[in-house]
Every structure is written in structure tokens, then in C-alpha cells.
């Protein structure tokens, strides 16, 4: 069961998400006197704010912040914050703040009067949505490349010729030999046989023939 002061600080953080960031809070998970506030940014990116409980003593503030900063590496979120209640953050040493910076974790100081101060702004991490888009684009690229490799590639400089229909052969004209064709129709060339006018000319016998 969360303490009353913890619920108050968490409400302050939720109001900060809605008013300052412009996002919406989807869920709050309580565990061991602490809480994970799950929110979504206006652009659809996931935000996780890890609230450190108010009952944590000042002597353990460095260890607690360092632990949560390391745990944030396994979170599937675009932005991760640590929300520290009261003025406990001023008791954290320089090494703790350095670790928070190395782990790319934002820091919120939640004060008793409801004011939330953003001490450190985190950079955007690689979200699951961005990674999925890259995988889809890579898969599409491989499919296109595979299709191009399977398509037949013409040889360089090759030209496709259209088939030319076969032309009928013309009758071969026999060269002149100086002799007159005989009167027998069997000796006449085919092109004379097919033309009745030429047949008449070809069938004439030479003058004085017996």
C-alpha cells in the first residue's frame, strides 16, 4: 500500500506529464515503496518515470539513484526519468549525477508544494517502434534485391531482331542461248506455260519448217 505522501508526489508528476510535456499517463505500477509511471508523449513515444519513494533515507539516496539508473538500461522506452521527492537530490554526490548522465536518464525534483523541476533532460533512446520500422524497410529492400537478381538480364549490346517472313521465290529466268524454243509445249519454261500469250509466241515454228 502506497503512503499518502508518495501518492501526493505521484499526482504531482502526473500533472507535470499532462501540463508540461503534453502527454498522457497510461499506468502507475507500485513496488517496494516506489512506483513506475508509464506515459506516452504527444508524438506517441513511451516515457517511463521511476519515482523514488519518500521513505528512502538520505544515507541511501546515492545507492538508490545509481541502482535505478542502471536498471533503466533494460527499459523499453524512448525517455526515462528519475523522480526524486522533496529536496533529497541536493544530497546526491557528484559521482551519482555523473552515472545518471552516462545512462541517459532524466531527473525530476518533485517538491512539497507541487512544483516539479526538470534537473536533467534525457536524450531520446531507440524505441521499439523505430527499430521495427528499420527491420521492415530492410526486409522490403531484400525482397526487391532478390527479385532483381532473379529477373533475366539481357547481354550488353544484344539486339532483338524481328522475324522476317519468307518471300516466295521468283521463277528463274534462263539465259538466252540463241536457239528458238521447240514446238513442244513440254520444252517451254514454266513462266511461258502459265501465260497463254507467251504460249502462242512460243509455239510458233520458224518459217520454212517442215
In a domain, 144, yes or no: no
Number of domains in the chain: 1
Distance in angstroms (rounded) separating the CA atoms of residues 165 and 114: 94
In a domain, 56, yes or no: yes
The answer to whether position 177 is within a domain reads no
Provide φ and ψ at 152, rounded to 5°: -65, 135
pLDDT value of residue 87: 87
In a domain, 203, yes or no: no
The pLDDT score that the predictor gives to residue 71 is 93
The domain containing residue 43 runs over which residues? Answer: 4-128
User: Could you say which residues of the chain have pLDDT below 50?
Assistant: 128, 130-136, 139, 155-156, 158-159, 181-184, 207, 209-210
The pLDDT value recorded for residue 12 is 97
Instruction: Tell me the DSSP string of 114-139.
Output: S-EEEEEPPPP---HHHHHHHHHHHH
209 within some domain: no
pLDDT at residue 171 in the model = 52
Residue at 208 is within a domain: no
Here the CATH number for the domain that contains residue 95 is 3.40.1350
* 68 occurs within a structural domain: yes
pLDDT given for residue 131 in this prediction: 43
pLDDT at 43: 93
Is 50 part of any domain? yes
Q: Find out whether 72 and 50 touch, Cβ atoms under 8 Å.
A: yes
Residues whose CB is less than 8 angstroms from the CB of residue 117 and which lie 6 or more positions away in sequence, other chains included: 108, 109, 111
Q: Grid coordinates in use for 71?
A: 536498471
Q: Given this model, what pLDDT does residue 137 score?
A: 54
Instruction: Give the model confidence (pLDDT) of 117-132 as tens digits.
Output: 999 999 998 754 534 4
Amino acid at each position: 500500500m502506497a503512503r499518502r505522501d508518495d501518492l501526493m508526489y505521484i499526482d504531482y508528476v502526473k500533472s507535470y506529464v499532462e501540463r508540461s510535456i503534453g502527454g498522457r499517463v497510461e499506468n502507475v505500477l507500485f513496488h517496494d515503496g516506489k512506483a513506475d509511471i508509464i506515459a506516452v508523449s504527444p508524438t506517441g513515444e513511451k516515457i517511463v518515470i521511476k519515482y523514488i519513494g519518500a521513505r528512502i533515507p538520505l544515507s541511501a539516496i546515492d545507492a538508490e539513484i545509481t541502482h535505478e539508473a542502471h536498471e533503466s538500461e533494460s527499459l523499453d522506452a524512448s525517455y526515462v526519468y528519475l523522480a526524486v521527492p522533496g529536496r533529497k537530490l541536493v544530497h546526491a554526490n557528484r559521482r551519482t549525477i555523473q552515472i545518471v548522465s552516462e545512462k541517459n536518464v532524466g531527473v525530476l525534483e518533485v517538491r512539497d508544494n507541487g512544483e516539479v523541476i526538470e534537473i536533467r533532460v534525457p536524450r531520446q533512446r531507440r524505441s521499439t517502434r523505430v527499430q521495427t520500422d528499420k527491420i521492415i524497410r530492410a526486409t522490403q529492400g531484400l525482397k526487391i534485391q532478390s527479385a532483381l537478381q532473379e529477373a533475366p538480364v539481357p547481354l550488353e549490346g544484344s539486339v532483338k531482331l524481328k522475324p522476317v517472313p519468307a518471300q516466295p521465290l521468283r521463277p528463274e529466268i534462263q539465259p538466252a542461248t540463241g536457239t528458238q524454243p521447240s514446238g513442244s509445249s513440254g520444252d517451254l519454261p514454266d513462266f511461258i506455260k502459265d501465260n497463254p500469250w507467251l504460249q502462242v509466241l512460243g509455239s510458233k515454228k520458224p518459217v520454212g519448217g517442215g
